[in-house]
């Protein structure tokens, strides 16, 4: 399984996209429909991510880079591979004007930062260096000096992301329940 890093202050270089970046653009259907969730599938997803609009993108992204996008980022399919592919590419965060519902939930579920910052596309250009502070909830563009506030995650969302995703939350609960004797008879 793929987990994002969990630092609260992120600094990175921007790759900028437009509105309505859908899950077929991020991870095309032919790369998501046949996988077994193994290393081979992760490689295929990474190497084909964004291929229809930025061929060979995986060669350009460096660990810690940030993806900035417009309205309704991640609309479309429920495919979690779109989220995990961003982590595989090395992105530390997605920052968009708005983020599609399932894409946002899936990001939280795998412990990957996805934040909505209205106005982000007017204040940030490709190649800019950003500092995203998820303690003070500030976004600073180190290239042009502009700074904006970020709406904090809800307490629950914050807890799931910092746990490393919902399966880690599940695991902890199962372990606690097992100590109480629950699940003893199953499987």
Partner 1 sequence: MGMTIAEKVMARASGKEVVHPGQYVDARIDRIIADEEFYRIHTAAEAAGIAGGLPDIWDRDRFHLILEHFQPALNVTQALRQQKMREVAKRYGLTHFRDAVCGVIHRIAIEDYVLPGELALGSDSHSVAWGAVNCVGTGMGEHELAYALVYGTLWFKVPETIKVVLSGRLHAALSGKDVALYLAGQHTTAFALYKAIEFTGPGASALSIDGRISLAAHAVELGGKFGLFGYDDTTAGFLADRTAMLHQKHLAQPVAPDPDAVYCQEVRVDLDGLEPQVARPHNFDNVVPVSRIAGIPIHQAQVGSCANGNLEDIATVVRLVKGKRVAQGVRLLVQPASWAVYRASLERGFIGDLLDAGAQVLSPGCHLCIGMQGALAGGDVCITSTTRNFRGRMGSADAQIYLASPATVAASALAGVIADPREVV
Considering the rule CB under 8 A, would residue 144 count as an interface residue with partner 1?
Answer: no
* Residues 136, 134: Cα–Cα separation, whole Å: 6
| SS3 assignment, position 133 | strand
- Please state the closest distance from residue 35 (CB atom) to partner 1, in A: 7
Considering the rule CB under 8 A, would residue 72 count as an interface residue with partner 1?
Answer: yes
- Please state the closest distance from residue 84 (CB atom) to partner 1, in A: 10
Considering the rule CB under 8 A, would residue 20 count as an interface residue with partner 1?
Answer: yes
48 in Cβ contact with 173 (< 8 Å): no
Which of 94, 21, 8 is CA-nearest to residue 53? 21
Considering the rule CB under 8 A, would residue 52 count as an interface residue with partner 1?
Answer: yes
Structural Rg of the chain based on CA atoms: 17
Which of 103, 70, 79 is CA-nearest to residue 27? 79
Footprint of partner 1 (CB under 8 A): 1, 20, 22-25, 28-30, 33-37, 51-53, 71-72, 75-80, 83, 98, 100-102, 105-106, 109-110, 154, 156, 165-171, 173-174, 178, 183, 186-187
């Amino acid at each position: 399984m793929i987990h994002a890093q969990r630092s609260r202050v992120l600094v990175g270089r921007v790759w900028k996209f437009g509105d309505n970046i859908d899950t077929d653009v991020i991870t095309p259907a032919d790369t998501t429909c046949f996988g077994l969730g193994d290393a081979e599938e992760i490689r295929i997803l990474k190497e084909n991510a964004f291929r229809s609009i930025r061929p060979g993108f995986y060669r350009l992204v460096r660990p810690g880079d940030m993806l900035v996008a417009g309205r309704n980022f991640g609309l479309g399919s429920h495919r979690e591979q779109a989220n995990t592919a961003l982590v595989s590419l090395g992105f530390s965060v997605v920052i968009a004007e708005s983020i599609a519902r399932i894409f946002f939930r899936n990001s939280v579920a795998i412990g990957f930062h996805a934040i909505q910052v209205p106005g982000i596309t007017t204040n940030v250009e490709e190649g800019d260096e950003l500092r995203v502070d998820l303690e003070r909830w500030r976004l600073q563009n180190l290239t042009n000096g502009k700074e904006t506030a970020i709406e904090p995650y809800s307490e629950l969302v914050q807890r799931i992301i910092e746990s490393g995703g919902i399966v880690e939350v599940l695991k902890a609960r199962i372990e606690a329940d097992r100590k109480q004797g629950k699940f003893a008879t199953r499987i």
